[in-house]
Amino acid sequence: MANPQVILSLVVILINSSWLFLLPHLCHGHDQLEKCNFDKIYQLGDSYSDTGNLIRESPVGSSTPFTRLPYGETFFKNATGRCSDGLLMIDYLAIALGLPLLNPYKMTDADFRHGVNFAVAGSTALPVEFLTKKNISSPATNSSLSVQLDWMLTHFDSLCHEKRDCTKKLENSLFVVGEIGGNDYNYPLIEGKGIELAKSIMPNVIEAIKDAVRRVIDYGAVRVIVPGDFPIGCYPMFLTIFPTNDSTAYDQNRCLRQLNNLAMDHNNRLQEAIEELKKEFPDTVIVCTVITTTRTNGFSRTLPILDSMKWLYEKLVVESEVTTISILGGSAEHRRFRCVSDPNQYISFDGIHSTQHAYMLMSGWLIQDILPKLQCTV
């Protein structure tokens, strides 16, 4: 099996000093991405991408902490439903494409000329009915990936007179399917159901994402990005929920090996699924953005700051013990986590969601990673 530190590269890269001047890099990314002539983005996913659907879809969503400060404090100066102190990766991607920030589907009378965000915080790849049969609850929303796809179809029905018309209108659109699937694993873990239950549904999660990509291609998608899962073993929330005196349970970055292995397994299977889809749809560009292995010593450009990562996560675990804001409505065994006082100094904002600063850095990595794979020409 691949070294557990592989999955950490996305996290480790966040505090690499070479990214301190990322905004110029995003501008450069904008110049490169202009070759694709994207005029719309359609986003599916969960809390890492939701720009305001959860807080609008139900009383449960409107009562979450994401409706009030400190969420949104850094950029918007008020809460927008984003699970961060400011912008998300999808926001930075839109900026790089020269497009307005995506409005959430549930925003009444919103401008959808440049795309729609269908992502819902707390959503799962699998339908809630499937999860219920597995004794897994979905406390935040019933708007799973299939529901979001139905919303997308409804939107396209209003946009196009017929399928051929829709295909033409969407030829310059970018579709982003995910990140999705993380909550399918997070919920059984948080609910104390054990990691084996999370592992058992992984083939179903991968198939649900694979089917979603098929459906967006059927709608007319020409270019699709499918992000992988994050290194959940490094989340301060899980580090706090699952403390252990067994030193072998942690890797060299003080992250939980077993949880990071779960995320890596998901990403490896997702990559395999995407390769199968590429053969099935040779005329569609499908980019799977997950972590890949390198030399056993890790990533040369990030290796020098591994000691800093250890210090950072030790501080985050301490921060997470302060009580001010609950995660997932308090479902994490009623444990509570404080939003960090200076988001620009941290990767994690509330124990499970990232800061705007972290999303900015990840977006730079994403844009540079996908540029050569989108196959755009002048």
Q: What is the mean pLDDT of each run of 10 residues along the chain (378 residues)?
A: 34 32 48 79 98 95 89 94 95 92 96 97 98 94 97 92 83 95 96 96 98 95 93 81 90 84 94 96 91 27 29 40 34 46 75 84 79 74
pTM recorded for the entire structure: 0.84
- Tell me if residue 173 is catalytic: no
Give me the pLDDT at residue 23, please: 46
Q: Which has the closest alpha carbon to 269: 222, 228, 232? A: 228
CA-CA distance, 280 to 293, in Å (whole number)?
A: 26
Domain residue limits, the chain:
34-373
Task: Please tell me whether the peptide bond between 179 and the residue prior to it is cis, using omega within 30 degrees of 0.
Answer: yes
Q: Name residue, tokens 């999705």.
A: 180
CA-CA distance, 173 to 358, in Å (whole number)?
A: 26
Catalytic residue among 47, 138, 146, 354: 47
Q: Name residue, tokens 């990214």.
A: 19
Give me the pLDDT at residue 315, please: 40
Give me the pLDDT at residue 168, please: 87
Q: Which has the closest alpha carbon to 140: 64, 83, 84? A: 64
Beta bridge partners of 263: none
- Tell me if residue 353 is catalytic: yes
Q: Up-side HSE of residue 108: CA atoms within 13 Å toward CB?
A: 3
CA-CA distance, 249 to 18, in Å (whole number)?
A: 31
Q: What is the 3-state secondary structure (H, E, C) of the chain?
A: CCCHHHHHHHHHHHHCHHHCCHHHHHHHHHHHHHHHCCCEEEEECCCCCCCCCHHHHCHHHHCCHHHCCCCCCCCCCCCCCCCCCCCCHHHHHHHHCCCCCCCECCCCCCCCCCEEECCCCCCCCCCHHHHHHCCCCCCCCCCCHHHHHHHHHHHHHHHCCCHHHHHHHCCCEEEEECCCCHHHHHHHHHCCCCHHHHHHCHHHHHHHHHHHHHHHHHHCCCEEEEECCCCHHHCHHHHHHCCCCCHHHECCCCCEHHHHHHHHHHHHHHHHHHHHHHHHCCCCEEEEECCCCCCCCCCCCCHHHHHHHHHHHHHHHHHCCCCCEECHHHCCCCCEECCCCCHHHCCECCCCCECHHHHHHHHHHHHHHHHHHCCCCC
Structure-block tokens of residue 192: 């104390």
| CATH T-level topology, domain 34-373 | Rossmann fold (3.40.50)
Catalytic residue among 25, 114, 266, 353: 353
For residue 83, how many other CB atoms are within 10 A of its CB? 26
Catalytic residue among 114, 350, 354, 363: 350
Contact 210, 277 (CB under 8 A): yes
CA-CA distance, 237 to 354, in Å (whole number)?
A: 12
Q: Which has the closest alpha carbon to 122: 54, 209, 191, 43? A: 54
